[in-house]
Structure formats: C-alpha cells, structure tokens
Amino acid sequence: MDSAHTTRLTHEFAELTQFFRAVRQSSRALIAPLSDADATVQSMPDASPAKWHLAHTTWFFESFLLVPHLSGYRIFDEHFNFLFNSYYETVGARHPRPRRGLLTRPTLETILSYRQHVDAGIEKLLQEDASAGITQLVELGCHHEQQHQELLLTDILHLFAQSPLKPAYKLPEPLLFEPQAVRAPVYLPFDGGLVEIGHEGKGFAFDCEGPRHSVFIEPYRLADRPVTNREWIEFIVDGGYRDPLLWLSDGWAALRDQGWTMPLYWERRDDVYWTMTLRGAQPLDLDAPVTHVSYFEADAFATWSHRRLPTEMEWERATRGVSLAGNFADSGYLRPRPASVTAELPRQMFGDAWEWTRSAFLPYPRFRPAAGAVGEYNGKFMSGQFVLRGGSCVTPRGHIRRSYRNFFPPAMRWQFAGVRLADDAVFTP
C-alpha cells in the first residue's frame, strides 16, 4: 500500500471518528433540557420517548457492530435487545411500540451509562478494524442516529403539546417576525425531458436514494416558495376543511374521524391564531411556511388552489444548482422562518419544512436492499407511504441531500411537513 493511499485512509478514519463523536454528543445535548419524566413519557403510539431514542440508537451500534465484530465485547444488558429493537424481525422479539412509554426502567442515568459503554466499544473496534464493511456500518449508524435526533424533537413537541401547561423545550425568546412583502408565489418554469434522479454515488446515502436512473418528465412549473400560514388561513376561512369535493376519499374519512379543522397544534385565541412550538405556545408567524399538515391536507389545499403537488422527480430536478443551505436544527430557532426575499430561487428548498410530494415511496429501478438485518431499514416500508423532500427546522444540518427521500403515511401530521405547489407548464387557472 503506497503512502498516499495510507494517508487518505488515515484521514477518512479520523473524519469518521470525529463524525461519530459529534453525532453522539449532539444526542446527549438534545436531552439536556429534559427531566427523567420528560424523557420517559410517550404521547401517542407513533411517537417514542426521548430515553428510548437514546437507547435504540445505541442498541443499533451494539447489535450490528460490537456483538458480531468486536472480540471479547461484553453486552451491557441482555434485556436491551428486547427493549430497544424497533422493527428488525431478523434480530428477535421486541417490546411493543405503543408501550414504550411504560419503560420507567432502565433509568435515564442507566441509558447514558449504556451509551458510554457502547461508545468506548465502537472506538476500540475502529482502532482494531477500519475495514470498509465496519466503517460503512458506523457511518450508517451515525446517519440513523441523526434521523432519531429529529424524531426526538418532533416527539417532544407532541408530548409537550398535550400538557395544559404548554411547556417550552427551550426557553421562549423574542422571535423576530420580520414583515414580509405579501405577494402571490411565482411559478418557475422547468423544462421536461429525460433527467437523472437519485444519489450520484459520492458520499453517504441511504439505500432507497439509489440507484441513480433516468426518468422522463413533462415540462412543469414549481412555486418559488412553500405555502405560508397566511395562505392556509385563507383555505380555512373559505371552507377548505368542510368541502368534501377537495379531498381524497381516505383524506375526508381521516378528517371526519379525527376532527381536523386546521393544522396540528393550531388554536384560536381572540381571533389570533397560535401554535405550539418547541419554545412553547407562540403566535403564528403568518409568513412562515405552514407545517404539521398531512398529505391529505396538502393534496386538498393543492386542489383548492387549482394546482397540484410536485412529484419527487420534479422536486429533485428543481434543486439543481440550489445550495443545501437552510434553516436547520443547528440554527437553534426550531421553527420555520419566512422566506428571504433575497434568497436564491426557488426559495427554502432545504430546511424549514419537509415538503410533501405526490410520489408514493417505491423502489427505484434496480433497487436491491442490503443483505442481512440492515436490509430491513427502508425497503420493507415501500407500501402505503408518500415521499417528502428537503428537510426541516429540526433536521440536523449536513444530514440532508438533494436525493434524500423521507417517507410517512398520508395521515401523518406531527412532523414538520409542509407544502409547495406545482402545475403543468400549460396551465389555465
């Protein structure tokens, strides 16, 4: 092995170790404002306690790396494989997801000790074996943990929203709602034709982001910014939640069953709309992107607007030349901001709010899941889900890519999911 190759491998090993440490420390920092009770309670079956997120991401490293690959490794607690497995059928039985909030034991202190034990094991493993198979699994584990960092924040928001005290995850501070020039969105034209979609092969990506492949799209137009809270209020006032002609059949059934009249966390106080945020209950920022709406609501709004949702292929095509900058979790703002009038076009493609697309979450051509248990990571969910793109205000910076495919069931509302409209190039309103 020549010296240049050795130097490159040493550099890559140092970068991975630094990345691993940074990700693990970020998770630890996220739970700093929480009590043991905050970290234990589960607000609904779709959410998980913060303590469970901390333990599950640690279990991932222990189960897929340390147990099979580190000679002499001592399992921290033999019960944890049952308690903190999420959905990996090939790994064994697991505690039911809707009952994760009943795990008062182990304590948060014990979970933090578990993390230290596993962290030491991973660092030792990397010192002993920095082969491609090991480093790829460590990298996957880090990105898996970043996903759970976002889930931890969204789950805490949902938990705190159920409390009559409406507590703040972070102390409230003056939020600068800068006056915006209120105007209709501009629809930017994009050519059709054969385009390349999917991860380009450099750097990390989840398996569902590839293989890169060609798709044919018709010419289309895409809004230069997401739909705002102000525009959503117009939809409400115009009877959008009362008109079944705007809704998909399953969406109308969900609306009636769950009593939807406005986005999740919204309420009226003396004719002023408020929303629950990670800084407690706050007045609605009218010019910020709407969030916490389901695919069904997004589709109904698009129908009401005489537009449609973009496909994920159209969305990804529109990001060419757009930087990956945006309002992510690292800003500390933890809620969407209004679009800057000086931002590059199209605005807010990354950060602030995940954007629903009309595309079902399905495998790309030639997709093959990874071998073994990690192959259960994405492929098994390619049914009944819709794709979201772009990241949100609680997504870790650096975790997002233009090929990144998030996915959720169409009735999901507790994520920071919003809407960007599209239409065909030949359009008559």
Dihedral of the alpha carbons of 41, 46, 47, 52, in degrees to the nearest 10: 80
Residues 6+ apart with CB under 8 A from 87: 94, 376, 380
- For residue 29, the tally of other CB atoms under 10 A from its CB is 10
Residue 159 backbone dihedrals phi, psi, to 5 degrees: -60, -50
CA distance 414 to 24: 25
CB 329 within 8 A of CB 396: yes
- In this predicted model, what pLDDT tens digit does every residue of 125-166 receive, in sequence order? 999 988 989 999 999 999 999 999 999 999 999 999 999 999
Query: Regarding predicted confidence, which is higher, 92 or 242?
Result: 242
Q: Among candidates 144, 202, 154, which has minimal Cα distance to 23?
A: 144
Q: For 187-424, give the CATH class.
A: alpha beta
Prior bond of 429 cis (ω within 30°)? no
Confidence of residue 346 (pLDDT cuts 50, 70, 90): very high
Let me know: does 159 contact 51? Beta carbons within 8 Å.
no
Q: Is the pLDDT of residue 68 over 60?
A: yes
Q: What's the CA gap between 101 and 152, in Å, rounded?
A: 14
Confidence of residue 365 (pLDDT cuts 50, 70, 90): very high
Distance (Å, whole) CA 69 – CA 30: 30
Measured between alpha carbons, how far is residue 242 from residues 109, 235, 237 in Å?
A: 49, 10, 10
- Non-local (6+) Cβ contacts of 111 within 8 A are 51, 54, 55, 58
Q: What is the dihedral of CA 309, 313, 319, 324, to 10 degrees?
A: 100
Mean pLDDT of 235-262: 98
CA distance 347 to 358: 20
Rounded distance between C-alpha atoms, residue 338 and residue 226, angstroms: 9
Look at residue 57 in the predicted model and tell me its pLDDT.
98
Residue pointed to by tokens 């490293």: 61
Which of 53, 68, 20, 58 minimizes the C-alpha distance to 372?
Answer: 68
> According to the model, what pLDDT value does residue 91 have?
82
Identify the band that residue 1 occupies on the pLDDT scale cut at 50, 70 and 90.
low
pLDDT greater than 80 at residue 372: no
The pTM is what?
Answer: 0.94
- Domain extent listing, the chain: 3-161, 187-424
Q: What is the per-residue pLDDT for 13?
A: 81
**Structure tokens belonging to residue 166:** 């409406």
Model confidence pLDDT, tens digit, residues 273-318: 999 999 999 999 999 999 999 999 999 999 999 999 999 999 999 9
